[in-house]
Amino acid sequence: MLHDLGQGAAFVLGHRLLRPVLLTAFFFNTSFFLLQAIYVPYAVGRLGLTASAVGWTLAAYGAGMLLAATLARRVAAIVPFGVVIAIGPVAGLAAAAAMLLTVWVPSAAVAGASFFLIGAGPMLWVISTTTLRQAVTPTGQLGRVSAVITTATYGARPLGAAIGAGVGGWMGAEACLFAAAVGFMIQAAIILASPVPRLVRQPEMEAADQAPRRRGFAPPRPAPSPDA
């Protein structure tokens, strides 16, 4: 298993399109779960929201995801492929800015808008980056590459929650919002500085028998026939 993960990691880190996708996803999830770790106590104590109001603001996250999933095909038909990918990180940054705004403008509507953005944009990210990964990864490496990206993405979540607990307990919820905004700024900068947003259309599918050699992986040798 470690050998397979090593191969997948080497492929992702050596790929000019997948490497920024991996780093962006890592910083996004770290920042998002940092925000989630402190949101409820912040919403109750600082924004003065009731339990039902907190629930409605969190429900806006799911509403954003559903709307984006419904419109994803239409968006992809009129917007360049790379721009669709970039929408997610940019929406995450806008969501962090909206949540940070509640420090000066305590509002359930602003908090709900933040969660709506962080649901809608990243849903387009998930759909488009999954398509990108499947297109540029040779068939023989797809499981390993997907495992590496998934492990890094989900592994960032407890890290973000731990940072939120530490920063929140030491410096307060407002400091967590600033830290989350910095993280969202980093992830947006990574993807915008990469070649990914400049993709006009979905890349062609990678040839399974050629890409492993070019990336440094030799394809498995065929088993000898009984007559060999």
Kindly list the structural domains of the chain, giving each domain's residue range(s) and its CATH number in brackets, ordered by start: 23-194 (1.20.1250.20)
Residue type, 205: M
State the pLDDT at residue 206. Answer: 58
Q: Does residue 99 or residue 212 have the better pLDDT?
A: 99
Query: Which pLDDT value is given to residue 207?
Result: 53
Q: What is the mean pLDDT of residues 159-179?
A: 92
pLDDT in tens, 207-228: 554 444 444 444 444 444 444 4
d(CA 203, CA 211): 14
Average pLDDT of span 23-49: 94
From residue 74, alpha-carbon distances to 84, 118, 176 in Å are: 11, 20, 36
Q: What confidence score (pLDDT) does residue 78 get? A: 93
Residues 9-21: tens digit of each pLDDT: 899 999 999 999 9
Amino acid at 75: V
Q: 150 Cβ partners below 8 Å, 6+ apart?
A: none
Q: Which whole number is the average pLDDT over 186-202?
A: 93
The count of C-alpha atoms lying within 13 angstroms of the C-alpha of 15, restricted to the half-sphere facing its C-beta, is 28
State yes or no: pLDDT of 40 exceeds 60.
yes
Average pLDDT over residues 166-189: 94
- Average pLDDT over the chain reads 88
Tell me the average pLDDT across 52-79: 95
Once rounded to an integer, what is the mean pLDDT over residues 129-139? 90
133 or 139, higher pLDDT: 133
CA-to-CA separations, 30 to 104, 106, 139, 189, in angstroms, rounded = 24, 24, 29, 15
Q: What percent of the chain has pLDDT over 70?
A: 89
